[in-house]
Amino acid sequence: MGMTMEDPRLRAVSLANQKSFTARLKSHLKETFFPDDPFRHFADQRPGRRAWSTISYFVPILQWMSNYSLSFFSYDVLAGITIASLAIPQGISYAKLAEIPPIIGLYCSFVPPLVYAVFGSSNNMAVGNVAAASLLIASTIQESVSPEKEPERYTYTVITAAFFTGLLQLTLGVFRLGIIVDFLARSTITGFMGGTALMIILQQFKGLLGLQHFTNKTDFVTVVQALFKYRSECRWQSVILAVAFLTILLLSKKLKDKYPKLFWVNAISPLFVVILGGLIAFLADGANHGIPILALSNPSLKVVEKLSSAKLIDAVGKEWFFLSVGDAVEGCHFVLQEEAK
């Protein structure tokens, strides 16, 4: 009765090598923010090699530039021309969605790819302005600043919002908080993109019908009310051109699906439509015949000076946060599309 049987399920625990609170906290933080620590492979390297590997991690162009071959150059030029033919009209249209000068949309089309070529790590990612962010920034900032009454202040406010959005995204990247998107359900992403697509379609009625006035709101009821309210401004010339060019774009997509070798037709069709539309408007004197003309003015913007303005920062408010969330959802949508392929 005094004897005890040793339970084989019990294990002896040594308390001699117990870690301190600071060491355990550091370990937990590293496990949370760096579950895939990119620097663990550099631990056994020499100091000079380790420094170069660390720099190359943050500037990925240093990793692949040494292996770049001139045989890739012709393909890269073709890819650049293809993307540019889409990015030029796309940048202009996204600028109009955000109610800012179209030239800024062009800046946003070619500057991000140049930066991403140096600091980006994916060869499939297309960076630049997107429809969802353009529409979101317009609908939120217009609540405090009117693009019609204060166009210059509105433009600076948009730029300020973009600056703080980038600052927040940089902070999230430094602290490895991309894990937040793991909590976004697929249904949430699908609903967000579907709702955004519907709002974009509704906002295109202004240009399609050639209306001079339209609502800045994006809900369905308000847009329909605006269509009836300003129906007298509808111009048949704009409708004919819009339908014709939309038909060209849809036919080029069908042609690519049926004949994959003719993919380049679909790639250049947006730029072709822009050039053809410009020629028609110029030759037919469209400004005096019911066709609104888009002027690509180059505004003189003192961006750095204006960014320090407290009034602009107050006007931005919460927009920078919602833009960051919207961009995160856009990124998740891209990943889901790639997985589906």
Separation CA 89–CA 208 (nearest Å):
15
- Whether residue 29 is contained in a domain is answered as no
- What is the total count of domains within the chain? 1
Q: For residues 41-48, give the mean pLDDT.
A: 76
> Which tens digit of pLDDT belongs to each residue from 75-129?
888 788 878 877 888 888 888 888 888 888 888 888 888 888 888 887 777 787 7
Q: For residues 197-218, give the mean pLDDT.
A: 80
- Whether residue 164 is contained in a domain is answered as yes
Closest listed residue to residue 134, CA positions, set 203, 78, 80: 203
Q: Which percentage of the chain shows pLDDT scores above 70?
A: 76
User: Coil, helix or strand for 239?
Assistant: helix
Residue 251 has pLDDT above 90, yes or no: yes
- Whether residue 122 is contained in a domain is answered as yes
> Which tens digit of pLDDT belongs to each residue from 261-317?
888 788 788 878 888 888 888 888 777 776 777 665 555 555 444 444 445 444 445
Separation CA 168–CA 297 (nearest Å):
30
- Whether residue 54 is contained in a domain is answered as no
- Whether residue 180 is contained in a domain is answered as yes
What pLDDT score does 26 carry? 77
Tokens 């049987």 correspond to what residue?
5
Residue 334 has pLDDT above 80, yes or no: no
**pTM for the full model?**
0.68
Identify the weakest region by mean pLDDT among 64-68, 190-194, 226-230, 252-256.
Answer: 190-194
Q: What is the DSSP string of 100-158?
A: S-HHHHHHHHHHHHHHHHHH---SS---S--HHHHHHHHHHHTTTS-TTT-HHHHHHHH
Q: Between 65 and 85, name the one with better pLDDT.
A: 65
Structure tokens at 9: 């399920």
**Which structural domain range is residue 299 located in?**
75-235+292-340
